[in-house]
Amino acid sequence: MGAAKGKMSRRDFLKTTGSAAVAGITLSGLMWSPAEAAPLPKKWEETYDIVIIGSGFAGLAAAYEAKKAGASVVVFEKMKTPGGNSIINGGVVAAAGSPLQEKAGIKDSPELLLQDMLRAGLNLNYVELAREVAYQSNETVQWTIKELGVEYKDKLTQEGGHSVPRMYSTHNQSGSAIVTKLLAKLKDLGVTPRTQCFLTQIYRDKDGRVKGVQIRDGYVFPKENSGKTKNIRAKKAVILATGGFGADVDFRRAQDPRLDETVDTTNQPGATAEALKEAIRIGCTPIQLSWIQLGPWGSPDEKGMGLNPFFAQLCCAMYGLWIDTKTGKRFVNELADRKIRADAILRVGNKCIAFTDAHGFAIGEKLIAEAIPKLLERGVVKKYETLEDMAKAYDIPLEPLKETIEKWNKSVLAGKDEEWGRYLQKDQKPLGPGPYYASRLMPKVHHCMGGIRINTKAQAIDMFNNKPIAGLYAAGEVTGGVHGAVRLGSCATLDCLVFGRIAGQNAAKETPWC
Question: Per-residue x/- marks for a second copy, 82-121, CB under 8 A?
Answer: ----------------------------------------
Q: What is the footprint of a second copy within residues 126-165 (CB under 8 A)? A: 126-127
Q: Which part of the chain contacts a second copy (CB under 8 A), choosing from 21-29, 319-327, 392-400, 414-422?
A: 21-29
Q: Which stretch binds a second copy (CB under 8 A): 67-75, 122-130, 184-192, 309-317?
A: 122-130
List the beta bridge partners of residue 76: 53, 194
Interface of this chain with a second copy, residues 426 to 455, rule: CB under 8 A: 442-445, 449-450, 453
Binding window for a second copy (CB under 8 A); candidates: 15-23, 83-91, 185-193, 308-316: 15-23
Q: How far is the CB of 82 from a second copy (least distance, A)?
A: 19
Task: Kindly state whether residue 511 participates in binding a second copy, applying the rule CB under 8 A.
Answer: no
Is 254 among the residues that bind a second copy (CB under 8 A)? Answer: yes
Find the binder of a second copy among 61, 134, 486, 491 (CB under 8 A).
486
Cα gap 357→313, rounded to integer Å: 14
Q: How many CA atoms lie within 13 A of 57 on its CB side?
A: 33
Of 22 and 514, nearer to a second copy (C-beta) is 22
- State the minimum distance, in angstroms, from the CB of residue 320 to a second copy: 22
Say whether residue 325 binds a second copy (CB under 8 A): no
Question: Is-contact 490 159, C-beta < 8 A?
Answer: yes
CA angle 5, 259, 52 (to 5 degrees): 90
How many residues in the shown chain lie near a second copy by CB under 8 A? 105
> Alpha-carbon Rg of the chain, whole angstroms?
23
Cis before 296 (ω within 30): no
The answer to whether residue 421 forms part of the interface with a second copy (CB under 8 A) is no
The mark string for 349-388 relative to a second copy (x by CB under 8 A, - otherwise) is: xxx-------------------------------------
Comparing CB distances to a second copy, the nearer of 97 and 309 is 309
HEC string of 192-209 equals CCECCEEEEEEEECCCCC
Nearer of residues 86 and 266 to a second copy, judged by Cβ? 266
* Segment near a second copy (CB under 8 A); pick from 93-101, 233-241, 279-287, 401-409: 279-287
Task: Kindly state whether residue 168 participates in binding a second copy, applying the rule CB under 8 A.
Answer: no
As a whole number of angstroms, the distance between CA 353 and CA 405 comes to 14
Among 55, 272, 325, 439, indicate the residue that binds a second copy (CB under 8 A).
272
Closer residue to a second copy in complex, CB, 75/445? 445
Q: Please, which residue, 20 or 188, has the CB nearer to a second copy?
A: 20
Residue 511 and residue 114: Cα distance in Å, rounded?
Answer: 34
Query: Is residue 261 at the binding interface for a second copy, with CB under 8 A as the rule?
Result: yes
> How far is 26 from 15, CA to CA, in rounded Å?
21
Sign of CA pseudo-dihedral 151, 156, 157, 163 = positive
Among 48, 76, 291, 473, binds a second copy (CB under 8 A): 291
The H-or-E segment that residue 237 falls in is strand 228-240
Residue type, 100: L
> At residue 79, what are phi and psi to the nearest 5 degrees?
-85, 180
CA-nearest of 172, 225, 178, 183 to 200 is 225
Among 45, 466, 468, 513, indicate the residue that binds a second copy (CB under 8 A). Answer: 466
247 binds a second copy (CB under 8 A): yes
Residues 212-231 contacting a second copy, CB under 8 A: 222, 224
For position 5 contacting a second copy by CB under 8 A, the verdict is yes
Closest C-alpha to 353, from 381, 331, 323:
323
* Three-state secondary-structure class, residue 308: helix
Q: Which is nearer to a second copy, 165 or 243 (CB)?
A: 243
Q: Cα-flanking dihedrals φ and ψ of residue 455, to 5°?
A: -105, -175
Residues annotated as part of the active site: 338
Please list, residue by residue across 353-365, b when 16 or more beta carbons sit within 10 angstroms of its beta carbon and e when fewer do: bbbbbbbbbebbe
Residues of span 34-93 touching a second copy by CB under 8 A: 35-36, 38-39
Q: Provide the β-strand partners of residue 440.
A: 353
| CA 40/CA 28 separation, integer angstroms | 27
Helix (H), strand (E) at residue 49: strand 46-53
Yes or no: say if 195 and 75 are a contact pair by the CB < 8 Å rule: no
Q: Residue 487 and residue 339: Cα distance in Å, rounded?
A: 9
13 binds a second copy (CB under 8 A): yes
Which of these ranges, 97-105, 371-379, 478-486, 496-504, lies near a second copy under the rule CB under 8 A? Answer: 478-486
* Residues 30-49: b if buried by 16+ CB within 10 A, e if exposed: eebeeeebeeebeebeebbb
241 in Cβ contact with 476 (< 8 Å): yes
Min CB(349)–a second copy separation in Å: 6
Choose between 106 and 263: whose C-beta lies nearer to a second copy: 263
Please select the residue that binds a second copy; options are 45, 46, 205, 256, rule is CB under 8 A: 256
- For residues 235 and 40, give the distance between their C-alpha atoms in angstroms, rounded to a whole number: 13
Query: Cβ 14 to a second copy, closest distance in Å?
Result: 5
Query: What's the distance, Cα to Cα, between the start and end of the chain in Å?
Result: 48
Of 24-32, 320-328, 376-384, 408-416, the segment contacting a second copy by CB under 8 A is 24-32
From 50-58, 74-82, 240-248, 360-368, give the range in contact with a second copy by CB under 8 A.
240-248
Tell me whether residue 149 or residue 222 sits nearer to a second copy (CB atom): 222
Rule CB under 8 A: is residue 514 a binding residue for a second copy?
Answer: no
